[in-house]
Amino acid sequence: MLQLLRNKAQSVVIQALILIIALVFIFWGVGTNMTNSRDAAISINNEEISFQEFQKSYEQAIAGYRQQFGDAISDELLKGLGVKQQVINQLTQITLLRQGLNTMGIMVTPVEIQTAIEKMPQFQRESSFNLDAYQAILSANRLTPHKFEGSIGRDLLSEKGVIFINNFATTVRDAEISEIYHRDQETVTVKVVQISPDLFNDKIVVDPQDLAAWFETKKDNYKTEQKIKVQYLSFPYNAQQENITISDEQVLAQYEKDKAAYQIPEKRHAKHILFKTEENSSSEKQTAQLKKAEEILARARYGEDFSTLATTYSEDQSKATGGDLGTFARGRMIKEFDDAVFSMQPNTISDIIKTQFGYHIIKLENILPAVTQPLEEVRATIVTKLQTEQARPATFQMANEAYEGIIAAGSLQAYTKKNTEKTVIPTDFFSRTSPPTDLSHDAKFMDTVFSLKKGELSSLIEDPSGYFILFAEDIQEPAPPKLEAVKEQATKDFKLAKTKEMAKETATALLAKAKGGADLETSAREEKLPTITSGPVRKNSPTPDPALPASLVDQALRLGAKSPFPQEALAVGDDLYILQFVERNLPEISKLDETAKQNYTATLLKQKQDRLLGSWLKHQEKNAKIFTSKNI
């Protein structure tokens, strides 16, 4: 969606909408079918979303997860994430949003659509809209102007609707500001006793019988991976490619066809200085960081060396290289940062740019113009691609004939005995995570291999290098090992388990005595445990107190004079902590400056508007007629 909805990305509902409409190339054409057919994937108030449209959105969602977590993300994990239901919900929400806006009479004019498209950087050449670029990009993405402009119209309609709905939430009361200010700025002081399992290491004596008994209850934790032993025939494409000649004309034609793939977009080389903040940083933190940024910006513009300033003051990892971010294309950085960099001229320094990471000062070093790789640079790649394409049918035919021959012969061994020119490649036992070097490491390929049962012949399996036929000779199922095989690790784990038990017993006893009226510090001293009094700690403090882990600050803030102890010892990793409330200090509202007040007002207003929009969408859904096909 456009910028207004991007600004509301913290709302769960809005995040769902943005996944669908942030990229106009991803999803288009929803709502064009009003036939009320049950052949649709989803029907919302008789407006249909086809299976094709649903599948396109689903594939884009999967691609998004793979981009975020890497291609190694398993199908099982994707299933656990409920991606399919997410997409159903998202498509339903965005359709309801648009329908509701149409009902309210909110419309978008053709002029507004034209203006929005002309401003899109993808279609600009030399800082102005280029019709040829527009048509070429749409064609490359298999979009017609009618469909694309329709998607932009829906995007603009959503923006208008959000503005309209937000106009019903425009004020914040002083009492609301006071409440959030007190919550953010109140501090507590607590006594802290830390009980670490390491303190009990010297008290653990490993008895062989105790270790064996413990291992019996934990042996499934030491199970080996499933392993498989196969024999296989390989039919690589490159065996056929040697006999395939590709002409210069074919190479040139393919180059022209794929020219867009060989375009290297404009890149920019930039450095930056970052003063970190977080979404929930206090107004004081925001103000302090902004002031630092303003001071360093003035020094940079006065002529001080930018790299030196970055090394000295930046709070980003790039400080080690003078703030250097290297070269990058548009879209690689967060939007606010990206927009700033791609609007700058070389050797200039930006104003202060605010992003979700904090305050940035950017220096643009230089611009690398967009170029198209010349034919000679990509000739070898094109030749290989064409050879592979031409080799695929012949390779498939060879592999298929071999497969039919194996079926006719009754077994792989019988087939190769008759066809001695075929070489069966045997493997030793291997796991999914450590396949043989000559076998494909592709995740889907491995899924197929490990789906075989002992004595089972696979069908033809294709991977980027060719075709394979595999026979599962033997399988080793996951099994718990004998204790002797993992004794060293099991002994370490046993000792840790016992020390954790002792730490838990000690912490529980100490807390019980303190709750019963005993002095915590005295009781801790008897166990040779120190008691440390924290400084005043508050929510989201930029400087964590060394006595209190940051993850326990919220727990500490819940304590008070009437409830000075937590219900039980608090865990951070393997360590346990006992806290005792000492005192609480509330901030004076008179110390809230105007800048901080404005920040609080903006935060509260955004929360109100998000809740209002979310409630409106829920109301639309409650009153809608929604049908979801069982075939999705």
User: Which one, of 359, 274, 270, 356, lies nearest residue 312 by Cα?
Assistant: 274
DSSP state of 574: T
How many CB atoms neighbour CB 519 within 10 A?
A: 12
Residues whose CB falls within 8 Å of the CB of residue 26, separated by 6 or more in sequence, listed in order: 20, 56, 57, 60
Selecting from 3.40.190.290, 3.40.50.720, 3.10.50.40, 3.90.105.10, what CATH number does the domain 266-369 have?
Answer: 3.10.50.40
Architecture of domain 3-171+608-628 in CATH?
Orthogonal Bundle (1.10)
Q: What confidence score (pLDDT) does residue 556 get? A: 94
Cα gap 35→270, rounded to integer Å: 53
Ranges for all domains in the chain classified under CATH 3.10.50.40? 266-369
- The owner of tokens 């793979």 is 66
Classify residue 539 as exposed, middle or buried by CB count within 10 Å of its CB (0-12, 13-18, 19+).
middle
Task: From residue 574, give the alpha-carbon distance in Å to each of 198, 369, 500, 569, 598.
Answer: 9, 54, 7, 12, 42
Residue 517 phi, psi (nearest 5): 115, -10
What crossing angle do the helices spanning 51-69 and 12-21 adopt, rounded to 10°? Answer: 110
Q: What confidence score (pLDDT) does residue 14 get? A: 38
3-class secondary-structure state, position 194: strand
Token duo for residue 555: 């727990």
Q: What confidence score (pLDDT) does residue 35 get? A: 44
> Model's pTM, two decimal places?
0.52
Give per-residue pLDDT as tens, 270-309.
999 999 987 666 667 778 899 999 999 999 999 999 999 9
Q: What confidence score (pLDDT) does residue 280 get? A: 62
How many CB atoms neighbour CB 47 within 10 A?
A: 21
227-244+375-476 — its CATH code? 3.10.50
What sign does the CA torsion over 476, 477, 481, 482 have?
negative
Q: What confidence score (pLDDT) does residue 73 get? A: 66
Residues whose CB falls within 8 Å of the CB of residue 68, separated by 6 or more in sequence, listed in order: none
Task: From residue 436, give the alpha-carbon distance in Å to each of 203, 424, 432, 458, 521.
Answer: 46, 15, 10, 18, 60
| Ranges under pLDDT 50 in the chain | 1-37
Ranges for all domains in the chain classified under CATH 1.10.4030.10? 3-171+608-628
3-state class percentages of the chain: helix first, strand second, coil last, to nearest 5 = 50, 15, 30
Token duo for residue 91: 């498509």
